[in-house]
């Protein structure tokens, strides 16, 4: 595995039935790509000294979960011990994005400046509560939550790690 970076696409939250199926909460914008039959994912779990490569055998949606099974894990006893594990992909498997799209990991550490030139701090986290993402910025004014909407986020320059925002009334 060397020093390859990995990115989480889902969390193995529980088993589902006795045939080795698991419930996975998805953290990817590309579930159809990531969880399709034949896709390879890497399982990271505290009980494992190194990640295990898994190949998806079956997939179906159930409520807010992906129900997956993996080749070679045909029984609940084969997979139950990995509950709580994270399913990840290597960096070289990341999808190509459109020009105005970016991955969350690219936003972390970006410097945030208002459209009036005030430095607010750096993005330390991205929350996904529902309708739109919320970027958590830490700086001199403490923690500021910026909604990822056109009225607020004016420019994202990943190459220079810089974001320009408009502070709408009530944000501070």
Q: Flag whether 40 is in a domain.
A: yes
Q: Flag whether 172 is in a domain.
A: no
Instruction: Tell me the per-residue pLDDT of 140-162, one tens digit each, with 9 for 90 and over.
Output: 889 999 999 899 999 999 889 99
Q: Flag whether 98 is in a domain.
A: no
Q: Flag whether 99 is in a domain.
A: no
Pair 119, 89 in one domain = no
Lay out the sheet containing 119-127: strands in order across.
142-147, 134-139, 119-127, 111-114, 162-165, 153-157
How far, CA to CA in Å, does 69 sit from each of 18, 45, 62, 89, 104?
11, 17, 13, 17, 27
Q: Flag whether 171 is in a domain.
A: no
H-helix or E-strand spanning residue 106: helix 104-107
> What's the DSSP call for residue 73?
B
Whole-number CA gyration radius for the chain: 19
Q: Flag whether 25 is in a domain.
A: yes
> What's the DSSP call for residue 95?
P
Instruction: Tell me the per-residue pLDDT of 63-121, one tens digit each, with 9 for 90 and over.
Output: 889 999 999 999 999 999 999 999 999 988 887 777 777 888 889 999 999 999 999 99
Pair 69, 127 in one domain = no
Pair 57, 23 in one domain = yes
Q: Flag whether 38 is in a domain.
A: yes
Pair 114, 86 in one domain = no
CATH code for the domain in which residue 87 is found: 2.40.30.60
Dihedral over alpha carbons 151, 153, 157, 163 (to 10 degrees): 140
Which residue range forms the structural domain that includes residue 17?
Answer: 6-93
Q: Which residues pair with 77 in a beta bridge?
A: none
């Amino acid at each position: 595995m060397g020093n390859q970076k990995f990115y989480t696409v889902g969390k193995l939250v529980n088993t589902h039935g006795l045939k080795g199926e698991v419930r996975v909460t998805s953290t990817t914008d590309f579930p159809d790509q990531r969880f399709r039959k034949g896709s390879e994912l890497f399982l990271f779990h505290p009980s494992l000294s190194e990640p295990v490569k898994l190949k998806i055998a079956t997939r179906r949606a159930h409520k807010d979960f992906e129900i997956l099974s993996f080749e070679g894990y045909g029984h609940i006893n084969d997979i139950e011990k990995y509950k709580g594990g994270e399913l990840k992909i290597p960096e070289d498997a990341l999808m190509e994005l459109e020009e105005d799209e970016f991955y969350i990991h690219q936003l972390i550490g970006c410097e945030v400046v208002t459209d009036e030139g005030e430095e607010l701090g750096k993005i330390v986290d991205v929350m996904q509560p529902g309708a739109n993402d919320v970027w958590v910025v830490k700086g001199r004014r403490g923690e500021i939550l910026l909604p990822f909407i056109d009225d607020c986020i004016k420019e994202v320059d990943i190459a220079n790690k810089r974001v320009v925002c408009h502070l709408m009334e009530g944000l501070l």
